[in-house]
Each structure stands twice: as structure tokens, then as C-alpha cells.
């Protein structure tokens, strides 16, 4: 039985009525050999049409939980089969629920992958733009013993002290565009700056020379 048919069956009103009757038989509330109420009375009890009751009883009859006897009504045939019927329903219901959760997770995964792909494209585009001839940035690697490690852009007053503008931070395969004044430098940061030749040289000295 396909997934669609399982979901459709387990969500059907007549199937749920069949399960409810099977639970009552499995628990002993309706003993073997006892006759069930007539379809019209059952339809009133469950507030459904007689056709819905007929389909519910048909399912139970196919599973040999009840026997439909012409002229004498519906008789409970087997408590054991009722227990098996209920157990099977619960297993199918659990599988259907798990498959539903899996489908939701796959949708979330696809959405996340799409967002990651979009963000990666933006990073690549920004990185390409920053490295284009339009602004011609220069990249400096922050050494392990650089005096700027642990200090922020604002704290160091980089523009005031060197004349360059920090436009990006490269960390492995990631890039932070336009870092704010609170960004603190880390070892091996790639610092992208723009400025004239004099400012570039001043910045190079600024990040390498020990301040005494």
C-alpha cells in the first residue's frame, strides 16, 4: 500500500470508527460472540451516515474481527484479531507520523540549502567586487604577534592613524563586509583596506610594528 493510500486510509472517518470498535473489542468491553448495535444505531452514536458505518464494518469483517451474518446482524468474531488490528493501525499511524516529520525536515533542509547557496553567491559577488579594479583594495594578513590583535577598529582609530578605510575582513572562506568600529582583530585575519600608497604603507607598519 502506497504512502498516499495509507495517509488517506488512516485519516478516513470510517477507518477511525473501525479502530474505535476494535479497541472496544480488544479491551473486552464488547466480548466475543456479542452482537453489535445495528448500523442505524451506530450511525447515530458516531453521528455519521449508515454508509460510513457500513464501510467501517466491512474493514473489520475483512480483518475477521467481526462477522456480518445476513438476517442476524454483526457479531464479534475474535478479540485476538481485534488486538492485531489495533496494533497494526498504531504501527501504520506511527510510520505515517514519522514520514510526515521527515517530509517537513526535508523541506526545511531544502530551504536552508537554498539560503546557504544564495548567501554564498552574495559573498562571492561581494568579494569579487572588492577585488575588482573599481576600488582596488589591498589585503593584509594579521600576524600571530600583531599589536592590533584583540583590539577593535574604533579603539585603534585606524582611519585617523593611517588614512586607510577597512572595507572587509576575510576569515578562511568567509568574508565580513564593512565591519563596524566594534570588530576586534584576530590572528590570521585578512584585512581588506583602501587608501593611497602612503596610507597603505602606514597601515602596514601600524599592524606589524610593536608599540613600545
pLDDT in tens, 76-134: 889 999 998 888 887 777 766 677 777 788 888 888 888 877 776 776 666 665 555 44
Q: Which of 17-21, 39-43, 52-56, 60-64 comes out lowest in average pLDDT?
A: 39-43
Asked if pLDDT for residue 156 goes beyond 90, the answer is yes
The mean of the pLDDT values for the chain is 82
Domains of the chain are 3-100 (1.10.10.10), 138-208 (3.30.70.1450)
User: For the chain, what percent of residues have pLDDT higher than 90?
Assistant: 29
pTM over 0.75: no
Overall average pLDDT of the 28-36 stretch: 88
State the pLDDT at residue 133.
47
> Which residue would you say has higher pLDDT here, 142 or 126?
142
State the pLDDT at residue 10.
44
Overall average pLDDT of the 203-211 stretch: 84
Give Cα 43 to chain centroid, integer Å: 41
Amino acid at each position: 500500500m502506497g504512502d498516499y493510500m495509507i495517509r488517506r486510509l488512516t485519516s478516513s472517518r470510517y477507518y477511525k470508527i473501525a479502530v474505535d470498535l476494535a479497541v472496544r473489542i480488544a479491551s473486552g468491553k464488547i466480548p466475543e460472540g456479542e452482537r453489535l448495535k445495528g448500523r442505524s444505531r451506530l450511525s447515530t452514536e458516531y453521528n455519521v451516515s449508515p454508509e460510513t458505518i457500513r464501510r467501517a464494518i466491512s474493514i473489520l469483517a475483512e480483518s475477521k474481527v467481526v462477522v456480518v451474518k445476513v438476517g442476524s446482524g454483526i457479531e464479534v468474531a475474535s478479540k485476538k484479531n481485534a488486538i492485531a488490528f489495533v496494533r497494526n493501525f498504531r504501527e501504520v499511524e506511527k510510520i505515517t507520523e514519522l514520514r510526515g516529520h521527515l517530509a517537513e525536515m526535508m523541506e526545511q533542509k531544502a530551504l536552508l540549502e537554498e539560503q546557504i547557496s544564495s548567501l554564498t553567491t552574495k559573498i562571492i559577488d561581494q568579494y569579487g567586487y572588492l577585488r575588482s579594479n573599481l576600488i582596488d583594495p589591498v589585503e593584509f594578513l594579521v600576524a600571530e604577534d600583531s599589536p592590533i590583535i584583540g583590539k577593535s577598529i574604533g579603539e585603534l582609530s585606524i582611519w585617523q592613524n593611517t588614512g586607510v578605510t577597512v572595507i572587509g575582513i576575510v576569515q578562511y572562506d568567509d568574508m565580513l563586509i564593512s565591519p563596524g568600529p566594534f570588530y576586534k582583530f584576530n590572528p590570521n585575519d585578512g584585512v581588506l583596506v583602501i587608501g593611497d600608497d602612503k596610507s597603505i604603507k602606514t597601515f602596514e607598519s601600524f599592524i606589524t610594528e610593536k608599540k613600545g
